[in-house]
Amino acid sequence: MSEGWTKRQVTALLVLADGTVIEGSGLGATGAIEGEVCFNTALTGYQEILTDPSYSKQIVTFTFPHIGNVGANEEDQESLGQGPGAGAVGAIFRADVTAPSNYRSAGHLDAWLKARGIVALSGIDTRALTALIRENGMPNAVIAHDPDGNFDVEALKARAAAWSGLVGLDLAKDAGSREAAAWDEMPWVWDAGYARQGEPRTHIVAIDYGTKRNILRLMAGLGAKVTVVPPTASAEEILALQPDGVFLSNGPGDPAATGEYAVPVIRKLIEADVPLFGICLGHQMLALALGGKTEKMHQGHHGANHPVKDFTTGKVEIVSMNHGFAVAADSLPDGVEETHRSLFDGSNCGLRLGDRPVFSVQHHPEASPGPQDSHYLFQRFFDTIERHKAGKQAA
């Protein structure tokens, strides 16, 4: 895949589980780490992508060739934490990272990658790697960086082949919060940064399976007091906080594995007649709680240009996506309505419960990065809460 490139020292390798070795130039953290290789088609927002906790244990191949040109800053981070579940473990770029050129830049991408422990590689044919993933699916791999170019290739091949992959892996406990905490940061404003919330009018409890900051910001911006709780919080602990609604966050890993402890909690919340809104992993586990099934995808959906149809409005939206598992639409039981569908491959992208204030979507309406076509879903959640409150008062 490096054919046609100027000969230079190899300081990074991507070693696939089938033994394929791809050579490049290393940047970011040194060392080697396992992950599943996917590709992302977004043109902007590389910091938000790499700090999305849903990318835990994944190596992101950027199809856009020039990554890093605008540098890095602290405002564009999406993960709440800095630990091993805070985002992607590796990154792959077509072109070398150049000096930053943007008024918001606080430093070079290389330094930022080092600080976050992300192993990166540049100088390879990312089109060919993307085609390989489209043809064969997302491979398990090891990405390695050594400035001196010293690699034990056979050991890396064995390590890549031995890694079990994401199926059956619960990553939410590492990606999510460790304890309950309040959130009051609102959406970013040009040249002003992030404002702090004043007087809230609604209380949302967000179960953090690996949430993104902009999701919490948008809810705070609409007037919610947001309380973030760990992924292992019990239904009793959540209900004791007296929420007006509960948010089921995005996150990494296999929904069936995280669902072992999360699904019983979600079922109790549904039985308690609390308004629920889920995104991504939260959507998948809500489907499991309602009797549906999830399945591993061939290449997944990762990008900011995915067309999705909302059947409740008839509109087609361009949305951000980041998921390697999906809800099997034909597994949804009676009483569960499919509300959104991908126009790329027909996969399920949303559901709602007919007789309860419960709904969810597969895509990322917080748009960080990406288009803002789906911001209305947060208002839909708040409207659902208000109707539910009114109905209870009338009863």
pLDDT digits (tens, 9 = 90+) for 98-109: 999 999 999 999
The residues, any chain, with a CB within 8 Å of residue 242's CB and separated by 6 or more, are 203
In the chain, the amino acid numbered 161 is: A
Q: Which domains does the chain have, with CATH numbers?
A: 12-162 (3.50.30.20), 172-394 (3.40.50.880)
**Per annotation, catalytic residue among 23, 78, 317, 366:** 366
Residue 82 pLDDT exceeds 70 = no
* 395 confidence band (pLDDT: 50, 70, 90): confident
pLDDT tens-digit map of 250-263: 999 999 999 999 99
Structure confidence at residue 349 (pLDDT): 98
Tens digit of each residue's pLDDT (9 = 90 or more) over 24-76: 999 999 999 999 999 999 999 999 999 999 999 999 999 999 999 999 999 99
> For position 85, what pLDDT does the model report?
64
pLDDT of the residue at 118: 97
Distance of CA 118 to the CA centre of its chain: 16
pLDDT at 7: 64
Interstrand relation of 90-92 and 119-122 (parallel, antiparallel or unpaired): parallel
Active-site residue identified among 78, 280, 306, 363? 280
Give residue-wise pLDDT tens across range 194-240.
999 888 999 999 999 999 999 999 999 999 999 999 999 999 999 99
Is 364 labeled as catalytic in the residue annotation?
A: yes
pLDDT in the model for residue 98: 92
- Residue 366 annotated to the active site: yes
Contact indicator for 116, 86 with CB cutoff of 8 Å: yes
What region does 74 belong to: left with phi over 0, alpha with psi -120 to 50, or beta?
A: alpha
- Choose among 265, 264, 307, 255: nearest CA to 285: 255
Buried (b) or exposed (e) across 300-324, using 16+ Cβ within 10 A? Answer: bbbbbebebbbeeeeeebbbbbbbb
Cα–Cα distance measured from residue 246 to residue 235, given in angstroms and rounded to the nearest whole number: 11
Residue 2: pLDDT above 70?
no
Tokens describing residue 30: 């040194």
Please give the Cα distance from 90 to 212 (Å, whole number).
19
Q: Is 126 exposed, middle or buried (0-12, 13-18, 19+ CB in 10 A)?
A: buried
Residue 3 has pLDDT above 70, yes or no: no
What's the pTM?
0.96
Give the pLDDT of residue 6.
54
Summarize the confidence of residues 318-345 as an average pLDDT: 98
pLDDT band for position 5 (cuts 50, 70, 90): very low
End-to-end C-alpha distance for the chain, whole angstroms: 67
pLDDT at residue 392, as a whole number: 83
Identify the helix (H) or strand (E) that includes residue 111. Answer: helix 109-116
Side-chain-side CA neighbours of residue 152 (13 Å):
7
User: What pLDDT shows up at residue 198?
Assistant: 85
Q: Which residues, at least 6 apart from 394, have a Cβ–Cβ distance to it below 8 Å? A: none
Give the contacts of 27 (CB within 8 A, at least 6 positions apart): 12, 97, 109, 110, 113, 120, 121, 122, 145
Tell me whether residue 108 is one of the annotated catalytic residues. Answer: no
Integer Cα distance of 391 and 147 in angstroms: 64
| pLDDT one-digit tens code per residue, 113-164 | 999 999 999 999 999 999 999 999 999 999 999 999 999 999 999 999 999 9
- Stretch 9-23: mean pLDDT, rounded? 97
Average pLDDT value for the chain: 95
